Amino acid sequence: MTPAEQMEYARALRPVLATIAFVFGTIWGSFFNVCIYRIPARKSIVHPGSHCYSCGSFLAWYDNIPVISYLWLGGNCRSCGSHFSPRYALVEFLSGLMFMTIFLVHGPEWVVIAHCLFASFLVVGTFTDIDHYIIPDSVTVGGLVFSLIVAAVFGGNSLIGRDFAVSREIYHSFWPTRTAAFTGDVGHIGALIWSLAGAGFGWALLAGIGVFGRVIFRKEAMGGGDVKLFAFLGAYFGPINCLYVLGISTVLGAAFGVTIILVHKLLRQDEFEEIELAPDKAVQLHSRILAAQSAWRHQRDTVMAGMAIKTGSAVLEESGANLPAITADSRDPAPLSLKIARSTSRQLHHFPFGPYIAAAALIVLLCYPVFEQTTRHFFMLDW
């Protein structure tokens, strides 16, 4: 078979292979749902099998077909009728769409499998961050190890290998006489070393932003999970593309944040609930809220603004609780109330940054040829 015939054959198989990629993506999406729920709960992702969390009945294979089974059963358990969140089917469908798009963009190459697995880490990390404000180490550290393996296996065909090749050209353009150490093919060792350098660059980049925010704004600007996530991305993409991810994620975060706040202010009003409390119950609840806030600040990657204490009243900014001050000699205290914020524009500020980073990483992955060409044009490498 001539090369032209091989190209024609591959072109004819492209729709079939894209469909297969979509099906495999939905199957993996079902597994992602398991990881999203069980990893933060420190449960095994392989045992027990898929089951209803209401009645405990195990799902038959025909009730566990991605997307189709959910639609067929109307999102309900066949045994007890409990309703499953539509997000299960959404994650499965989006995963299939993601795998198919990655295949269509990067073509029928073995490295496409690595790209799909890379995106899998991002899906699990995104939804665990949304649900629990954490990015598990199995995603960040596991993804970092995976990236190093990809660099060592695929060498110059990996994205980190391509980033290394462009970085060498940039170096040559500035220092044309100092090229002895950067000649020849990228190679597997070169890609692995550059992957380690990219991990260090990604970690330092976000850690530096975190230190800057802590000094300027006197609060945590970047969580530890986000820093480790960027180390993972740096190991897979390389230093140059880390900058693209940072810029895109910042724009996405700003655009989304401003949009939802404006929509809330235009279409909805802040909602509060006021609960009457006896004085002793108010003091107990106040103490519990303070203790919970203290523990929460240490666990969350993204820490909210601290508690503001005003003269005569204690205002819990995060929870919206407002408790009048209670003195020991109050014989007949006035009725006390707890004001709880149910939905306010202020609460919309507190959305984790991890999903924006993951979305930006997917954009860079799917549009990698465009960003690569942009870098070459910016440094005039093709002129």
Q: Is residue 114 in some structural domain? A: no
pLDDT at residue 240 greater than cutoff 80: yes
Question: Does residue 360 contact residue 249 with C-beta atoms inside 8 Å?
Answer: yes
Question: Does residue 194 contact residue 238 with C-beta atoms inside 8 Å?
Answer: yes
One domain, residues 99 and 137: no
One domain, residues 134 and 243: yes
One domain, residues 263 and 279: no
One domain, residues 102 and 29: yes
pLDDT tens-digit map of 243-294: 999 999 999 999 988 888 787 777 766 666 666 666 666 566 667 777 776 7
Q: Is residue 120 in some structural domain? A: no
CA distance 88 to 170: 45
Q: At what angle do helices 3-38 and 87-106 cross, to 10 degrees?
A: 150
pLDDT tens-digit map of 145-180: 999 999 999 999 999 999 999 998 888 888 776 655
Q: Is residue 232 in some structural domain? A: yes
Q: Is residue 146 in some structural domain? A: yes
Query: Would you call the peptide bond into 48 cis, given omega within 30 degrees of 0 as the criterion?
Result: yes
One domain, residues 338 and 264: no
Q: Is residue 116 in some structural domain? A: no
Sequence-ordered strand ranges (E) for 78-170: none
Question: Ramachandran region of residue 340, left (φ > 0), alpha (ψ -120 to 50) or beta?
Answer: beta
Most confidently modeled range among 55-59, 200-204, 224-228: 200-204
Question: Does residue 284 contact residue 305 with C-beta atoms inside 8 Å?
Answer: no
One domain, residues 186 and 149: yes
CA distance 58 to 60: 6
Q: Is residue 305 in some structural domain? A: yes
**Where in the sequence is the domain holding 102, given as residue range(s)?**
1-108
CA distance 165 to 162: 5
Q: Is residue 150 in some structural domain? A: yes
One domain, residues 64 and 135: no
**Token reading at 150:** 């990809």
One domain, residues 213 and 131: yes
Number of domains forming the structure of the chain: 3
Q: Is residue 119 in some structural domain? A: no
List of residues 6+ apart from 288 with CB closer than 8 A: none
**Token reading at 243:** 């900058």
